[in-house]
Amino acid sequence: MTTQHAEQTPAGAKTVLVTGASSGIGEAVAARLAAGGHRVVAGARRTDRLKALAERTAGAAARAGGSLEPVALDVTDRADVEDFVSGARERHGRVDVFVANAGVMPLSRLDSLLVAEWDRMIDVNVRGLLHSIAAALPVFGEQGSGHFVTVASVGAHEVVPTGAVYCATKYAAWAITEGLRQESDPSVRVTTVSPGVVTSELAGTITDPGAAEAMRTYRAHAIAPGAIAAAVSYALSQPPEVDVNEIVVRPARQR
């Protein structure tokens, strides 16, 4: 089965793992890469959404020699992330790219004291990223190659009211990914993609009414998630000696 698959995939096809592929940016990244001929392993908790995505992309992926495989994944569970990586490696022989995209954004002012939501952001946006690095790095080391892509945010560069904890998790994601880049052997490439406002379900995690209202205005000029998928695709398609370290993509109308 592996041999047959290898024969069908075009030269340059990679095994790409994407977390948070059930909606928004992760979904667009997974769909674009599968349609580009890559073997995509798409992880998230909502497997019904992943299966629907696999069905929608099956034709385009098959024509390009690629595939999209849905896998149940909770990035807050380290063992789950380990299985996500080891399972993909068993099925496809290697893991070329890990796109750490899963994230939540329940914005609120600090004095709202929504402490459980602060914990959730830390668990998904920071611990989930660390679990992903811990699972991918040993495989990259054994293979002598790999590419780690983190989806951070413009919130990794500036703090806004109601965004203290969310931005803190994104500053952390930026710092961890930059540290990974500095520590890595040249055979491992490291990219941070920092989106501005993008159409997705992200604001749906906001429970604080004031923050939700402010977001409706802030997100009025959102761009499509395909713009972020194009940035990821660009970073992946560079020759091995070229390491694209950070791409910031935001709406032209976002200042």
In the complex, the residues that contact ligand NDP under the rule CB under 6 A are 19-26, 44-46, 73-76, 101-105, 124, 151, 153, 195, 197-198, 200-202
Q: Pick the catalytic residue: 166, 171, 218, 234?
A: 166
Instruction: Provide the angle, in degrees to the nearest 10, between the axes of the packed helices 78-92 and 128-143.
Output: 30
For the CB of residue 123, give the shortest distance to ligand NDP in the complex, in Å: 7
For the CB of residue 1, give the shortest distance to ligand NDP in the complex, in Å: 27
Tell me how crowded residue 72 is: count the other CB atoms within 10 A of its CB.
13
CB 92 within 8 A of CB 15: yes
Amino acid, res. 46: R
The runs of H, that is alpha helices, within the chain are: 2-8, 24-35, 47-64, 78-92, 115-121, 128-143, 164-183, 209-218, 226-236
Identify which of residues 13 and 215 has a Cβ nearer to ligand NDP in the complex: 215
Identify which of residues 61 and 99 has a Cβ nearer to ligand NDP in the complex: 99
For the CB of residue 61, give the shortest distance to ligand NDP in the complex, in Å: 19
Question: Which residues are paired to 246 by β-bridges?
Answer: 192
Identify which of residues 8 and 178 has a Cβ nearer to ligand NDP in the complex: 178
166 catalytically annotated: yes
Please give the positions annotated as active site.
166
